[in-house]
Amino acid sequence: MGSLWEPSTHKLFPNQQVLQVFEKLAGCISSPNPHFFSMPNSLYYLPFDPISGEPYNLEIYRGKVLLIVNVASKCGFTRQYKNLEALHQRYQSQGLVVLGFPCDQFGGQEPGNNEEIESFCSLEYGVSFPMHSKIEVKGPGQNATFAALTGPESPFSGKIRWNFNKFLVSREGVLLKRFGSLTSPEAKKVVQAIENALG
């Protein structure tokens, strides 16, 4: 499990300190466990860097259904941006939030900087759902949220092997489903899972 970002300075700090911080934030008292932040209550306190704007955490989306996706601009699956935007438009009023996380770890298919990525998504696919700064979704520098989503305590554990993996999180912060790159965001099983989560 890699280290997490310190929200105030964006510097890495040791896992033991991470545990202490998140135990305080989440009101949890537990024995040291590097994966405890995958628990629903503390998932909301993980830090996020939007592609533009100020850092925040998932607390602002508490009570929403989340579809978290690692994305890339030069991938064979990049066209899925269109499907993701369609889901966003169709279900946002019911409580769905699509969250895009650019990553350059698979074939170097996200080479641009944040400004270039944001411009591409807007101009080519009309993306209006929240996008974030480029991250790593595997390895020593793995983003904390993706560590929780794919780690050993996740019900859908296992390394991400390509772009456009999709993680569906309930209104209570529980990981419900995981869909791979080959599954379109508008596939019947994805839509059904989203509608079930929305209630």
**What distance separates the 2 farthest-apart alpha carbons in the chain?**
48
pTM of the model: 0.80
Asked if residue 47 lies in contact with residue 144, where contact means CB atoms within 8 angstroms, the answer is: yes
| pLDDT the model gives residue 59 | 87
pLDDT band at 33 (very low <50, low <70, confident <90, very high): very low
Domains of the chain and CATH, by start: 4-198 (3.40.30.10)
Residue 36 has pLDDT above 50, yes or no: no
| pLDDT the model gives residue 48 | 87
Across the range 102-119, mean pLDDT stands at 97
pLDDT band at 167 (very low <50, low <70, confident <90, very high): very high
| pLDDT the model gives residue 47 | 84
| pLDDT the model gives residue 43 | 75
Instruction: Please tell me the number of Cα atoms within 13 Å of 148 on its side-chain side.
Output: 22
Across the range 58-68, mean pLDDT stands at 93
Asked if residue 70 lies in contact with residue 86, where contact means CB atoms within 8 angstroms, the answer is: no
Across the range 127-143, mean pLDDT stands at 96
Burial pattern 19-54, b for ≥16 Cβ within 10 A else e, equals bebbbebbeeeeeeebebbbbebbbbbbbbbebeee
pLDDT band at 31 (very low <50, low <70, confident <90, very high): very low
Active centre residues (catalytic): 75
Which of these, 160, 111, 166, 118, lies nearest to 139 by C-alpha position? 160
Q: Which is more confident, 41 or 141?
A: 141
Neighbour-count burial of 2, counting CB atoms closer than 10 A to its CB (0-12 exposed, 13-18 middle, 19+ buried): middle
Instruction: Write phi, then psi, for 150 (nearest 5 degrees).
Output: -115, -5
| pLDDT the model gives residue 183 | 98
pLDDT band at 42 (very low <50, low <70, confident <90, very high): low
| pLDDT the model gives residue 41 | 54
Across the range 121-146, mean pLDDT stands at 96
Which of these, 171, 97, 83, 173, lies nearest to 129 by C-alpha position? 97
